[in-house]
């Protein structure tokens, strides 16, 4: 499904691995960037990190918060640094 109309939104530049806000044309399975784009990588990562941290804090009594994204084979896990170091050490002891 190719759409000739442009929209504004977030996208990922695959070559530079940067998150950008720009005009784009929706192509079949991907977005074609049209014109100038604004690099929002640092801000986007910061906001997502704050979101994950808030989710972790709201799940009191657990040592981790985990989430996944629709149709993604990956999982993202949030630990406090001190808990992560303990878990990492236990894993190394089991080897």
Full pLDDT tens readout for the chain, 95 residues:
455 788 999 988 888 999 999 999 888 878 888 889 999 999 999 999 999 999 998 988 788 899 998 889 999 988 888 888 888 888 888 76
Domain boundaries, position 83: 43-94
Q: Is residue 1 part of a domain?
A: no
Residues 52 and 85 in one domain: yes
Residues 35 and 48 in one domain: no
Q: Is residue 25 part of a domain?
A: yes
- Number of domains the chain is built from: 2
Q: How far is the C-alpha of 59 from the C-alpha of 75, rounded, in Å?
A: 17
Q: Is residue 90 part of a domain?
A: yes
Residues 12 and 33 in one domain: yes
**The two structure tokens encoding residue 41:** 């990588």
For 8, what's the count of Cα atoms within 13 Å in the CB-facing half-sphere?
A: 4
CA distances, 9 to each of 12, 17, 19, 20, 31 (Å)? 10, 16, 10, 8, 10
CA distances, 61 to each of 78, 83, 86 (Å)? 14, 12, 16
Q: How far is the C-alpha of 7 from the C-alpha of 85, rounded, in Å?
A: 44
Q: Which among 36, 31, 35 has a CA at the least distance from the CA of 11?
A: 31
Residues 68 and 89 in one domain: yes
């Amino acid at each position: 499904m190719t759409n000739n109309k442009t929209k504004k939104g977030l996208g990922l530049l695959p070559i530079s691995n940067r998150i950008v806000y720009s005009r784009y044309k929706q192509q079949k399975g991907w977005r074609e960037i049209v014109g100038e784009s604004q690099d929002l990588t640092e801000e986007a990562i910061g906001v997502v990190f704050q979101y994950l941290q808030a989710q972790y804090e709201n799940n009191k009594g657990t040592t981790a918060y985990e989430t996944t994204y629709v149709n993604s084979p990956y999982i993202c896990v949030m630990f406090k640094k001190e808990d992560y170091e303990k878990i990492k050490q236990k894993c190394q002891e089991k080897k």
